[in-house]
Amino acid sequence: MVIGLAFHVPAARRAAVRRALDTASTRRERLQALYVDTADGALARARLALMLRREGVRWVQALERRGDGVAAKYEHEVTLVRAPRHVDASAIDPARHAASEAGRRLERALRGAGPLAEMFRTDVQRLSRRVARDGALIEIAFDEGMLRAASGCARLCELEFELLSGPAAALPALAARWMRRHCLWWDVRSQAERGRRLAQGLERVPPLKAARSSLAADIDSGTAFARMLQEALAHAQPNLAEIADGLAGPEHLHQLRVALRRARSVLRECGRWCGDPAEARALDLAWRAPFAQLGAWRERDVVMELLAPRLAAAGLRLSDESGPHCARQAASAVAPARRRSRSADPASVVCSVEVQQLLMRTLALALGGAARSAAPVEPATRDAALAPAAARLLRRVRRRTLAGLDGFADAARAVQHRVRKRLKRLRYLYEFLLPLYHGRRARRMRRRLATADAALGTLGDLAIATSACEENSARDARFGEVLVRLADERAAAQRQAERRLRALANAKRPWRRPSRSVKT
C-alpha cells in the first residue's frame, strides 16, 4: 500500500516550487507512460489503472487500484526484462500481475470484457527528493508535462508527497507547509482519471455521492473514528477538485456540503473516540465559517430552482440577466448576515489557504486517530468495543434530535432549522455505523431517517425561497403573489415533516440489539 497526496500547482507558483525542490540531492528523470482500458471502461469501473511506464532506461508494467480513504492506493509493478518492441496496448500482459491481489481484481474486471486498447499517454519531467520530517521519510516529486489522447491534450502539473516510512500523520503536516507557501490545493483525481476524462472528451463528470460505509463490527472505536473521517474526506475531495478547477455544477457543491457535514458530524459527536478530542472539537468549529460561505452559494441554487418556475407562472423571469429582480438580488436576500463578495465564490473558498489547511489538519487527525487511540478517552469505551460506544452515541444524538418534536409545525424557522441539522447528524452517523446492524429493523430505521431528512429538507428549501420573496416583495408585487403560494406549500411541508419525525420517534432502534448491557 502506498500513502500519498497530490496537489495542483498554480501556474504562477510553478517556478517557485521548482526552485524550492531543486537541491543537491534532487533527482531528475523523464517518465513516459501508456494507459490502457477496454472500450467500455471495465478497468475504470473496477477502480484500476493498468499502464506501461518508462523510467529512464527501465520499462515497468504497473497496476494501481485506489485504496480506502483518500490517501491510500495499492500498486503492483513488474519490471520488464526486455524493452517492448512496440510501445502499444499489445505490449501489456495482464498475466504479469496474476500473483498479486490487485491482479486477481484485474482478472475479474477483464472477464468477458473486450480487448485492451490505448486510452492515453503521459510524458512528464520529474524533480524529486527525499526529506525526513517528524520521524517519517517522505518523497516529494514535482511532475510537469502533458496528457495526450486521440481527442486532444492537457497540461499536467502536480506536486506529490509519498510516505516511504514512518507515521502517516507526518505526510499532511509536511504538505501543509508547502501548501501555505505556494498556494497549492489538494487534488485527489489521479492521472488515470484525468486521462480517461480527456480520452472520452468529458468536460464535466457527475458529482460523487457518499459510498456505503466500510466499517466492521470487530474494530475499536478509535479505528472507527479514523475510517469514518477518511470516508467523509473521500466523499468531499473529488467534488471539491471539480469546484476548484471551475468544472462543477450545482450538485457538486451540494455533495461537497453533504460530505463536510458528515465530517463535522464525526468530529463533533465522535471526537472523544480519537486520541485528540480537543483537536476534533477545534476542527468542527473551524469548519463552520467556510461551510457557511459555501452554504450561501448553495442557497442561491435553491432560490433559482424553487423560484424560477413559480415566478415564471407569475409573469416574471428569474435569471442573471433579467432586470432588477435578478437571481443575484434574490439570492443575496436569503442570508443577509452572510452576503457574498464577488471574490468569495465556491472556487475561491475551497482553494483558499484556510480551507486547504483545514483539510490537512482533518486528514492528519484521520490518519493518526486510530494509531493514538489504543485506549479511547471515553471511560465507557476503554474496552475498545465499537458496538456499545455506537449505541451510546446514537441514543444521545437521537434524544437531542427528537427533543424539538413537540410543537414542531408551529415553531420558528430557526428552531426548525436546528432540528434539521440535528437530524442530519443522526442520519449520517447511523449510515456510517450501519454495518453494525442487520435485518428489517436496521433497514426501516435507515428509511425513516432518509424520509424525515427529505421532508425537513423540503421545508428548509421553502423557507429559503420565502425569505428571498419577502425581501423582494416590496419592489415587485409578483413576489407577493408567489409568497401566498409558498405559504400554503410551507404549511403542508410542516405537517409532513412533523409526521415523518413522529414516525422516526416510533421506529424501533436497532442499536438496542448488539448488547443487553446497553440501556436504551
Residue-wise pLDDT for 407-461, tens only, equals 888 889 899 999 999 999 999 999 999 999 999 999 999 999 999 999 999 999 9
What's the confidence (pLDDT) of residue 380?
A: 38
Q: What is the mean pLDDT of residues 387-406?
A: 93
Closest to 433 measured CA to CA, from 511, 364, 504, 376: 511
Instruction: Give CA–CA dist 98/509, Å, rounded.
Output: 46
- Report pLDDT digits (tens) over 200-231: 999 889 999 999 998 998 899 999 999 999 99
Assign 475 a pLDDT band (cuts: 50, 70, 90).
confident
* Residue found under cell 408551529: 410
Confidence of residue 319 (pLDDT cuts 50, 70, 90): low
Of 373 and 468, more confident: 468
Higher pLDDT, 50 or 217: 50
242 φ, ψ (degrees, to nearest 5): -65, -40
Asked if pLDDT for residue 321 goes beyond 50, the answer is no
Per-residue pLDDT, 173: 94
Q: What is the DSSP letter of 168?
A: T
Rounded percentage of the chain residues whose pLDDT exceeds 90: 73
In angstroms, the CA 235 to CA 250 distance is 16
Q: Which residue has the higher pLDDT, 460 or 329?
A: 460
3 state SS of 408: helix
Cα separation, 460 vs 467, in Å, equals 11
Residue with cell 433497514: 443
- Residue 158 has a CB neighbour count (10 Å cut-off) of 20
Lowest mean pLDDT among 3-17, 95-109, 367-381, 402-416: 367-381
- As a whole number of angstroms, the distance between CA 114 and CA 116 comes to 7
Distance CA 249, CA 301 (A): 10
Please enumerate in sequence order all residues whose Cβ is within 8 A of that of 71, keeping only pairs 6 or more positions apart, or say none: 3, 4, 5, 168, 171, 230, 363, 367
Q: Is the pLDDT of residue 372 over 50?
A: no
**Residue 164 in grid coordinates:** 516511504
Strand partners, 31: 55, 124
By the 8 A CB rule, do 454 and 462 touch? no
Cα–Cα dist 147/140, whole Å: 21
Radius of gyration for the chain, computed over Cα atoms and rounded to the nearest angstrom: 25
237 burial level (CB within 10 Å; 0-12, 13-18, 19+) = buried
Query: Binning pLDDT at 50, 70 and 90, where does residue 333 land?
Result: very low
* Cell triple for 8: 495542483
Q: Which of 7, 388, 62, 373 is nearest to 179 (CA)?
A: 7
- Averaged pLDDT for residues 399-404: 92
Q: What is the pLDDT, as a whole number, of residue 326?
A: 44
Q: 56 vs 40, which has greater pLDDT?
A: 40
- Based on the number of CB atoms within 10 Å of its own CB, is 309 exposed (0-12), middle (13-18) or buried (19 or more)? exposed
Which of these, 1, 10, 359, lies nearest to 181 by C-alpha position? 10
- Please tell me the predicted confidence (pLDDT) of residue 449: 97
Mean local confidence (pLDDT), 254-266: 98
Q: Which residue has the cell 472539537?
A: 281
C-alpha cell at 160: 506529490
Query: What is the pLDDT, as a whole number, of residue 439?
Result: 92
pTM of the model: 0.89
Percent of the chain with pLDDT over 70: 90
- Summarised one tens digit per residue, pLDDT across range 119-174 is 999 999 999 999 999 999 999 999 999 999 998 999 999 999 999 999 999 999 99
Are the beta carbons of 112 and 93 closer than 8 angstroms? no
Decide if pLDDT at 324 tops 90. no
| Cα atoms in the Cβ-side hemisphere of radius 13 Å centred on 33 | 23
pLDDT at 498: 94
* pLDDT value, residue 341: 43
- Given this model, what pLDDT does residue 409 score? 82
What's the rounded mean pLDDT across residues 351-361? 96
Q: Which residue has the higher pLDDT, 304 or 179?
A: 179
Eight-class DSSP state of 275: S
- The predicted pLDDT at position 337 comes to 38
Q: Degrees (nearest 5) of the Cα angle 265, 301, 287?
A: 30
Contacts of 364 (CB under 8 A, 6+ apart): 169, 172, 173
Average pLDDT over residues 451-474: 90
All three cell numbers of 231, joined, read 470516508
What pLDDT shows up at residue 422?
Answer: 96
Residue 224: left (phi > 0), alpha (psi -120 to 50), or beta?
alpha
Taking alpha carbons only, the member of 182, 278, 280 closest to residue 232 is 280
Average pLDDT, the chain: 88
Long-range contacts of 405-411 (CB under 8 A, 24+ apart): 405/498, 405/501, 405/502, 405/505, 408/494, 408/497, 408/498, 408/501, 409/494, 409/495, 409/497, 409/498
Spatial separation of the C-alpha atoms in residues 8 and 237, rounded to whole Å: 13
In this structure, what DSSP letter does residue 209 have?
Answer: P
In whole angstroms, give the CA distance from residue 363 to residue 350.
Answer: 15
* Beta pairing, strands 152-165 & 185-186: unpaired
Record the cell numbers describing residue 250, joined without a space: 450545482
pLDDT at residue 340 is higher than 50: no
More confident residue, 474 or 34: 34
Place of cell 455521492: 209
Overall average pLDDT of the 350-354 stretch: 96
| Beta partners for residue 213, in sequence order | none
Inter-residue contact 149 to 119 (CB < 8 Å): yes
Match 441514543 to its residue by C-alpha cell: 395
Give dist(CA 182, CA 14) in Å, integer. Answer: 9
Mean pLDDT of 70-82: 90
Residues contacting residue 67 through CB under 8 Å, at least 6 positions apart? 1, 73, 74
Examine the pLDDT at 336 and tell me if it is beyond 70. no
pLDDT at 308: 83
pLDDT of residue 482: 87
Contact by Cβ (8 Å): 307, 482: yes
Identify the pLDDT of residue 369: 54
